[in-house]
Amino acid sequence: MAIQLPALIVSVEHRLALESASQRLMMMQSKRCTGLGNTPRRASSMAKRTAAQAPALPSMFSDAADEPLKIVGLIMHHPFFGGLQRTESEMRLFNNPRFPMSVSDLIWDLALPVGSDRDHGYCNPLKLGESCHGIGLLGRCLVTTCGGDPLIDRQTEFVKMLDGEGVNVLAQFDEEGYHLVELYEPDKAQALLVIIKDFIFQLLAQSKEGS
């Protein structure tokens, strides 16, 4: 991906859910970076949790030596959500071999604070209600997934939430495939790269027009 895309590829850390907004802010402010200009960010699956909280991300660059990083877009590929109430797609694909719901449930059991369930805001942003309205500060978003992902119903609702909050969101839903299919099928990986490349070039063009 780093070879084929006009982008700096940065690995996003996966971590346990933080208990409060203040903890998230403290974590972000503890990590500094010099300015990188207008930058789109990509998050795949679990890294979505970092991307979805992106309204707070610019704070981590407030003390940068040069210009602070300006996030102009987010790319969320097969974003990973959960919830107590099973969706139709989760029930239909409950025991799929690529990503069974038992694996999803285990991941959330390990990630969430002790005593929390899968309706915790870190897992199910649709349950955040009024406290999630800051998500409207996000830049343009690309959300990609496919019909064989058991999480597609949650991903679809997430896109609707973004749209309802005034976020400029582009959804690319492929009827074929499964969770993280591009890791196993080169043709799907290439198709994904084309979508991401087009999105990045659109962001760069818009950024130049606004500068």
Q: What is the CATH number of the domain that holds 130?
A: 3.40.50.1820
> Is 163 part of a structural domain of the chain?
yes
> Would you state the pLDDT for residue 12?
58
**DSSP state at residue 15:** -
Instruction: Give per-residue pLDDT as tens, 19-47.
Output: 544 454 444 444 433 333 454 555 555 44
Tokens of 40: 């789109």
Is 151 a residue whose pLDDT tops 60?
yes
Average pLDDT over residues 48-71: 49
Tokens of 154: 């949650």
> Is 175 part of a structural domain of the chain?
yes
> Is 85 part of a structural domain of the chain?
yes
Active site residues: 45, 149, 179
- Note the helical H segments in 18-74: 21-29, 48-52
> Is 45 part of a structural domain of the chain?
yes
- Cα(150)–Cα(87) distance, rounded to whole angstroms? 9
Instruction: Give the number of domains in the chain.
Output: 1
Residue ranges making up the domain that contains 177: 37-210
Cα dihedral 170/163/38/210 (nearest 10):
100
> Would you state the pLDDT for residue 198?
93
The reported pTM is 0.74
Nearest Cα neighbor of 154 from 102, 116, 101, 98 is 101
